[in-house]
Structure 1
Amino acid sequence: MQVTALLAEDPTPMRLLGAGVVLALLWWCWCCFAWLGNVVRADTGPLLGVLLTAMAAVLVVSLTVPEVFAGGEGGINAPLVFVLCYGALRVLHLVAYWVTHPGDDRLHATIRATALTSVAPPFVLLVIGSFFTGWTQILIWLAAVLVDYGAIYATGGSGWRLAAPGHFAERHGLIVIIALGESIVAIGVAVRGYSPTYGVLAGSVAGLLVSAALWRLYFRRVGEPAEERLAAAEGDARTRLARDVYTFLHLPLVGGVVLTALGVKQLLHQVADTGHYDLAEPLHGVGAWALAGGVGLFLLGAAAIRSRTGGRPPAALAAGGVVCLAAGPAVEHVPGLAALGALAVVTAAVVGLYGREAGPARA
Structure 2
Amino acid sequence: MTTERDATNDTGKTHPAGRGGPRRGDARSTPRRRLVTTGADHRVTPAELFFDLVFVYAFTQVTVLLAADPTPMRLLGGCVVLALLWWCWCCFAWLGNVVRADTGPLLGVLLTAMAAVLVVSLTVPEVFAGGDGDVNAPLIFVLGYGALRVLHLVAYWMAHPGDDRLRSTIRTTALTSVAPPFLLLVVGSFFTGWAQILIWLAAVLIDYAAIYATGGSGWRVAAPGHFAERHGLIVMIALGESIIAIGVAVRGYSTTYGVLAASVVGLLVSAALWRLYFHRVAEPAEEELTRAVDDGRTRLARDVYTFLHLPLVGGVVVSALGVKELLHQIADTGHYDLSEPLHGVGAWALAGGAGLFLLGAAAIRWRTTGGRAPAVPAAGGAVCLAAGPAVEHVPGLAALGALAVVTAAVVWLYGREAGATA
Superposition TM-score tier, normalisation by shorter sequence: over 0.9
1:217 correspondence with 2:276: yes
Structure 1 residues 338 and 76: CA distance shift in structure 2, 3 A: same
Q: Which residue of 2 aligns with 1:277?
A: 336
Counterparts of 1:156 and 1:188, CA distance in 2: 40
Counterparts of 2:124 and 2:88, CA distance in 1: 14
Structure 1 residues 16 and 197: CA distance shift in structure 2, 3 A: same
Q: CA deviation at 1:361?
A: 12
Counterparts of 2:107 and 2:337, CA distance in 1: 55
Contact 1:226-1:309 within 8 A present in 2 as well: yes
How far does the alpha carbon of each residue in 1:111-147 deviate from its partner, in whole angstroms, 9 at most, with x for none? 0111111001000000000000100000000000000
Point out the more displaced range, 215-224 or 51-60: 51-60
Q: Give the alignment partner of residue 182 of structure 2, picking from 123, 126, 138.
A: 123
SS in 1 for 2:98: coil
Q: CA deviation at 1:45?
A: 2.5
Q: Which residue of 1 aligns with 2:405?
A: 345
Q: CA deviation at 1:43?
A: 2.4
Q: Which residue of 2 aligns with 1:357?
A: 417
Where structure 2 has 5 or more consecutive residues not aligned to the other structure, the ranges are: 1-59
Equivalent residue letter for 2:116 = A
TM-score by length of 2: 0.84
TM-score by length of 1: 0.98
Q: Which residue of 2 aligns with 1:314?
A: 374
Counterparts of 1:23 and 1:151, CA distance in 2: 18
Equivalent residue letter for 2:263 = S
Equivalent residue letter for 2:189 = S
Matches within 5 A, 1:58-77: 58-77=117-136
Q: CA deviation at 1:44?
A: 2.6
SS in 1 for 2:128: coil
Higher helix share: 1
Q: CA deviation at 1:96?
A: 0.6
Q: Which residue of 2 aligns with 1:99?
A: 158
Q: Which residue of 2 aligns with 1:238?
A: 297
How far does the alpha carbon of each residue in 1:67-123 deviate from its partner, in whole angstroms, 9 at most, with x for none? 111111221101001101101111111111111100100001100111111001000
Q: CA deviation at 1:360?
A: 8.2
Counting matched residue pairs gives 362
Contact 1:249-1:304 within 8 A present in 2 as well: yes
Q: Which residue of 2 aligns with 1:26?
A: 85
Between structure 1 and structure 2, the one with the greater Rg is 2
1:162 correspondence with 2:215: no
Counterparts of 1:255 and 1:299, CA distance in 2: 11
Counterparts of 2:161 and 2:321, CA distance in 1: 46
Contact 2:363-2:373 within 8 A present in 1 as well: no
SS in 2 for 1:169: helix
Q: Which residue of 2 aligns with 1:192?
A: 251
Q: Which residue of 1 aligns with 2:9?
A: none
Q: Which residue of 2 aligns with 1:257?
A: 316
Q: Give the alignment partner of residue 175 of structure 1, picking from 234, 239, 246.
A: 234
Contact 2:340-2:395 within 8 A present in 1 as well: yes
Point out the more displaced range, 151-160 or 123-132: 151-160
Where structure 1 has 5 or more consecutive residues not aligned to the other structure, the ranges are: none
SS in 2 for 1:162: coil
How far does the alpha carbon of each residue in 1:283-323 deviate from its partner, in whole angstroms, 9 at most, with x for none? 00100000000010000000000000007531011111111
Point out the more displaced range, 131-140 or 201-210: 201-210
Counterparts of 1:11 and 1:351, CA distance in 2: 30
Superposition CA RMSD, Å: 1.3
1:268 correspondence with 2:324: no
Counterparts of 2:147 and 2:388, CA distance in 1: 39
Counterparts of 2:143 and 2:259, CA distance in 1: 42
Contact 1:355-1:361 within 8 A present in 2 as well: no
Q: CA deviation at 1:47?
A: 2.3
Q: CA deviation at 1:358?
A: 0.5
Matches within 5 A, 1:29-68: 29-68=88-127
Counterparts of 1:82 and 1:360, CA distance in 2: 48
